A and B are shown apart, each in its own frame.
Chain A
Amino acid sequence: MTPAWAQLGYLAAAVCFIVALKALSSPKTARRGNLIGAAGAVLACVITFLVSDINHLLPIVAAIAAGTAIGVLGAYRVQMTQMPQLVALFNGVGGGAAAIVAIIELTEFRAGPAPIIDLIATAFTIVVGSVSFAGSVVTFLKLQELMTTRPIVFGGYPIVYGLGLLAAVAFSVGLVLAPSMLFALLLAAIGAGLGVLLVLPVGGADVPIVISLLNAFTGLTVAASGYLLENILLLVAGTLVGSAGTLLTRLMANAMGRSVINILFGALKGGSTLGATTVSDRPVKSAGPADVAILLAYAQRVIIVPGYGLAVAQAQHTLRQLVDLLTERGVQVDYAIHPVAGRMPGHMNVLLAEAQVPYEQLKEMDEIDPEFKQADVALVVGANDVVNPAAETTPGAPIYGMPILHANQARQVVFMKRSMRPGFAGIENELLYEPTTTLLFGDAKDTMSKLLAELKALTV
């Protein structure tokens, strides 16, 4: 029996987690909230060491040190642009850890007959933990573009998936009736397969939402292992993340105008590969930095649509200088931030905050979208899908239904692009071929520097 003071300590840690989630919902308190959460987690671990009979102390401490080193190194070395992948990986290893804990707990049951609820919780943790682990690895591969970002569907997918689910249920029943290591390992393998299948049909642009969903899954496995280990804190913390994560997944999907069901299974209905191979050689209008500089310098109202390409090229600092110069000339400049610009909701805010762009210039979509009509120039830097009219005009396109920024309503649209390659969603952008659109080809940072130089020359 855990002593009362330790129970109180666990309770304090649980309160820390609740306060942390609450504080993370507001910009002012977010950082403090995260630190409170970390304090709660450390407190919980210290209590565990103090009250439980822990053998093998040295290897365990070494393992924690190793995990800490890997985690901290990863967290510090990651580029802000690669943040979503890292969160996916961290989530995946958490799911994997929960599955392993459940498998080990199973060996303990051999001593005597286990209560049926415990065995159900074990089966659940193994399956869902493996789903989360394997699913997260696939999301990592997709975001890192180590595999195609397009939805992958094969003939008979629904049948394979259905069989996988049936097998998971069947072996779970098997595990409950006759607990054995064989069933546990089979369940882990089936769970991993289901995780891969779950993420394969999801298009690249939707992957962040799946990360959030898998995050909620991992939360639930942690809750189930809390029940297994008779640890209330694990139950509370896991459940909190499970329910908050589920809600967050819905909020994110809403921000993109998608439904979670559609994201997961939309590709199965077929048709979402529309536009895949239509990269045409239709004529486009391109211009040099000098022309674009003049266009910008004599505009009254410029709206910048930043995208992932801007951050990848690390051009956000040059862009800020450009904006400063334009503002000095009396041009009114704002940034139009699409909720899913970058790779995750809110990602672009993080990236631009890193480049010291004043918070007031970042306009959210609802606020800025009506103003494109009055804008002389919409400068689209490294963005594509978020201004793609196909989201409104082409039912069946992977991004159909996603709210977009109506950059096409500006008098002139300037696209800074590396090539004619389609955006992350893998579909072509009609806007590139509009008569009002000018393309400025080249690496965003390089072109941006040239543009800045031309603009300076005009100003002197």
Chain B
Amino acid sequence: MTTEPIIWLTIFVLSVFVGLEVISKVSSTLHTPLMSGANAIHGVILIGAILVAGTAQSTPILVLGLIAVILASINMIGGFVVTDRMLIMFSRPHRALQKQGRRELEQ
């Protein structure tokens, strides 16, 4: 049992280096989508919110847990969707064109 925190610390330290390594060569064009994408990834706190809400013993705790679930799902799902919206414009010009045309028709 005493070794367990060490294992967690090991995973933590290794993850720090992986995080630094994977984005070290990003071009400034992609800073905004990358920030937004990373933001969506920490939305997995949703798992934590589900766990605490799912084991709540009293109503106030349940309500608090459900608030956390709502906030975390906004973070996670909204985050991925908005990043995708940004990136469509980089990678699929013709599709963005169609969208734009539609928007101009609506106006």
Contact = CB atoms under 8 A, between A and B. Distances in A.
Interface of A: 13, 17-18, 20-22, 24-28, 30-31, 33-35, 37-38, 41, 44-45, 48-49, 52-57, 59-60, 63-64, 66-68, 70-72, 74-76, 78, 80, 83-84, 86-87, 90-91, 93-94, 96-98, 100-101, 103-105, 107-108, 117, 211-212, 215, 218-219, 221-223, 225-227, 229, 231-245, 247-248, 251-252, 255, 317, 339, 344-347, 349-350, 353-356, 364
B44 A86 contact: no
B70 A24 contact: no
15 contacts: A20-B41, A22-B23, A24-B37, A30-B87, A37-B41, A60-B69, A63-B67, A63-B70, A67-B74, A94-B76, A100-B64, A101-B68, A104-B64, A244-B22, A349-B29
A354 B96 contact: yes
A18 B15 CA distance: 9
B35 A211 contact: yes
Contacts of B39: 87, 90-91, 94, 215, 218, 241
What size tier do the contact residues of chain B reach?
35 or more
A156 B88 CA distance: 47
Contact of B48 (A27, A35, A212, A225): A225
Interface of B: 5, 8, 11-12, 15-20, 22-56, 61-62, 64-93, 96-97, 100
A223 B64 CA distance: 20
Given A100-B64, A241-B42, A247-B24, A67 B72 contact: yes
A21 B71 contact: no
Contacts of B31: 248, 251-252, 255, 344-346
A125 to B, nearest CB: 10
Contact of B47 (A37, A44, A83): A44
B75 A25 contact: no
A90 B83 CA distance: 11
A108 B53 CA distance: 12
Nearest to A64: B73
Nearest to B23: A244
A13 to B, nearest CB: 8
Nearest to A74: B78
A41 B80 contact: yes
Contacts of A90: 36, 39-40, 43, 74-75, 78-79, 82
A52 B51 contact: yes
B82 to A, nearest CB: 4
A75 B69 contact: no
Contacts of A105: 52
A237 B41 contact: yes
Given A33-B37, A226-B48, 5 more contacts: A21-B19, A93-B72, A93-B75, A244-B19, A364-B29
Given A94-B71, A101-B45, A240-B15, A21 B64 contact: no
A269 B34 CA distance: 32
Given A48-B50, A67-B71, A247-B23, A350 B76 contact: no
